[in-house]
Amino acid sequence: MPDAPAPRWDEPRPSIVPNPADPRLTRRVVGVDHTGQPVETAVTVERALTLYLNSQEIVTMMTIGDYPEYLALGYLLNQAMLTPEDPITGIDYDEELDVVVVRTPTATNFETKLKKKTITSGCAQGTAFGDLMESLDQIVLPKTRLKTSWLYRLTHQINTMPSLYLEAGAIHGCVLCQEDQPLVYMEDVGRHNAVDKVAGWMRQHGVSGGDKIFYTTGRLTSEMVIKTVRMGIPILVSRSGFTAWGVELAQKTGLTLIGRAKGKRFVALSGADRIEFDQDLAYVADESARHRRKGASDDARDD
């Protein structure tokens, strides 16, 4: 079988990629292995980050601690506490206190909203506010096409990039893409944190989602679908599997939902009309074991 086309590294690289060498993100710990022999391994560091919107405390999140400003802004956008049109007068991060404050010109009061929560399947950050569902009816996603050649090229590039997951595990990744190019690659202990970082980056840089593809290593749950739709992105791809409600919401909103994307395989359970099957599968290699990311094993084990 012919090899998959090699990545063309002369093309633009993502503006943000994981940095496994960052000493703030991992720690070396000594233990013993299954034979009782000493072993030293890298473990992912998590720390608490408290988010304020003006003077009101909103939430404390467990995060790896990189890009706190993007995480804070993306969280507020994806929880409908801010709209993309709301002016931001400042985002202040205090590393010693682990506090980030997002400032707007007008006072805010979300006391009632903060009491109206639904616990979801997310890890490290798993609450969706009740009125998010209502906002989906107002969003119309564009009929952006997805070539399968783009999809295979994207998954190959993402699989071969440096990753904190490969260094220490216990991590999720999310990648904002356009056609066959990854633009921003964020990681965190919770996949929803990684999504929110991307959303915050998009807001800060004035990037729209209508012509983008969103890739995640995590499960395609209802909250992942809701956040992708709120970001205005019409295509959501994952290495992992689906939940029934995630599929139902994707079908309702017209989101293209692709899961189990590993090697030459994938399954689309919503929005298949956007897909253009232009790739000759004889030129797509199976996934190399040494490049497997989160979700490479059985769906039931994905987190």
For 75, the 3-state DSSP assignment is helix
| pLDDT for the residue 131 | 58
| pLDDT for the residue 271 | 97
Of 179, 200, 206, nearest to 188 by C-alpha is 200
Other CB atoms within 10 Å distance of the CB of residue 52:
17
pTM for the structure as a whole? 0.85
Return averaged pLDDT per consecutive 10 residues of the chain, 303 residues in all: 39 76 90 93 92 93 94 94 92 96 86 53 47 74 97 91 77 94 94 94 96 95 93 96 96 96 95 96 77 45 41
Q: What is the DSSP letter of 298?
A: -
With 0-12 / 13-18 / 19 or more C-beta atoms within 10 angstroms meaning exposed / middle / buried, residue 136 is middle
- Which amino acid is it at 21? A
- Which amino acid is it at 298? D
The fold of 1-303 is Cytidine Deaminase; domain 2 (3.40.140)
Rounded to 10 degrees, the C-alpha dihedral 159/175/152/7 comes to -60
**In angstroms, rounded to a whole number, what is the distance separating the alpha carbons of residues 223 and 218?**
11
| pLDDT for the residue 228 | 96
| pLDDT for the residue 296 | 44
**In angstroms, rounded to a whole number, what is the distance separating the alpha carbons of residues 95 and 211?**
35
| pLDDT for the residue 39 | 94
Other CB atoms within 10 Å distance of the CB of residue 223:
25
Beta-bridge mates of residue 282: none
| pLDDT for the residue 136 | 78
Are the C-beta atoms of 171 and 183 separated by less than 8 Å? no
| pLDDT for the residue 160 | 85
Other CB atoms within 10 Å distance of the CB of residue 6:
7
**In angstroms, rounded to a whole number, what is the distance separating the alpha carbons of residues 202 and 84?**
10
Vertex 302, ends 281 and 260: CA angle to 5°? Answer: 20
